[in-house]
């Protein structure tokens, strides 16, 4: 009978170790899931480009990471490439910010003017200038005028109207895949134009950003 007691103790010890390891695994997996949730919903989120509306700078099926934190700290800048929820579709769109809150955007063929100043877009190829009448768009105090880089094949603010700040998910930060296209997404500058909205617009937009 005495010989059975150590065996019983060994079995009990092994069982306890198994359950301890199991609970440690559950804790680790839970921690990883929570961190992944926080990163995805508050820091960065992956998206896949669908379509050709941002060519030649972004391509169909490219895998990008979107910065979701930056716009909680500052307003979007002119030239930022953003992902947003359009008002007429369940899909997310990717476009470039051209007009800031309070500005008037004029589209004349392939030329864009903001408050009368030509928007110089060195990141686009020269496409000539079709003879079309100008169209003016007024951007609201908490809105942004966005356009696809592939202007002839883009459904953007020319159709949708300016995009409310609350619909913006974040800024395209990194092209991750394919590996040959790996790059940090830079924001261009525009001579003669402000980079970001005024301080007054900054306060209004920050208030409307969902947390």
Q: Give the active site residues.
A: 53, 95
**3-class secondary-structure state, position 193:** coil
Gap between the Cα atoms of 156 and 196, Å rounded: 20
Strands (E), 49-205: 63-67, 81-84, 93-99, 104-108, 111-114, 117-118, 135-138, 143-147, 163-164, 168-177, 183-184
HEC-encoded secondary structure of 119-155: CCCCCCCCCCCCCCCCEEEECCCCEEEEECCCHHHCC
117: three-class secondary structure by DSSP: strand
- CA–CA distance from 150 to each of 14, 36, 96 (Å)? 65, 34, 10
Measured at the CA of 81, the angle between CA 79 and CA 86, to 5 degrees, comes to 120
3-class DSSP assignment, residue 99: strand
């Amino acid at each position: 009978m005495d010989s059975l007691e150590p065996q019983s103790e060994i079995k009990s010890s092994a069982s306890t170790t198994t359950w301890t390891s199991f609970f440690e695994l559950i804790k680790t997996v839970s921690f990883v899931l929570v961190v992944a949730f926080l990163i995805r919903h508050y820091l960065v989120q992956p998206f896949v480009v669908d379509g050709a509306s941002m060519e030649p700078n972004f391509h169909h099926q490219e895998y990008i990471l979107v910065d979701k934190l930056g716009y909680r700290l500052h307003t979007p800048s002119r030239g930022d490439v953003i992902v947003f929820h359009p008002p007429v579709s369940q899909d997310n769109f990717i476009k470039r910010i051209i007009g800031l809150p309070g500005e008037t955007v004029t589209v004349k063929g392939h030329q864009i003017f903001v408050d009368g100043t030509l928007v110089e877009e060195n990141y686009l190829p020269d496409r000539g200038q079709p003879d079309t009448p100008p169209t003016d768009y007024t951007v609201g105090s908490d809105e942004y005028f966005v356009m696809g880089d592939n202007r002839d094949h883009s459904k953007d603010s020319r159709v949708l109207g300016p995009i409310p700040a609350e619909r913006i998910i974040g800024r395209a930060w990194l092209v991750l895949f394919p590996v040959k296209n790996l790059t940090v997404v830079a924001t261009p500058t525009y001579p003669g134009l402000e980079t970001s909205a005024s301080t007054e617009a900054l306060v209004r937009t920050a208030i409307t950003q969902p947390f």
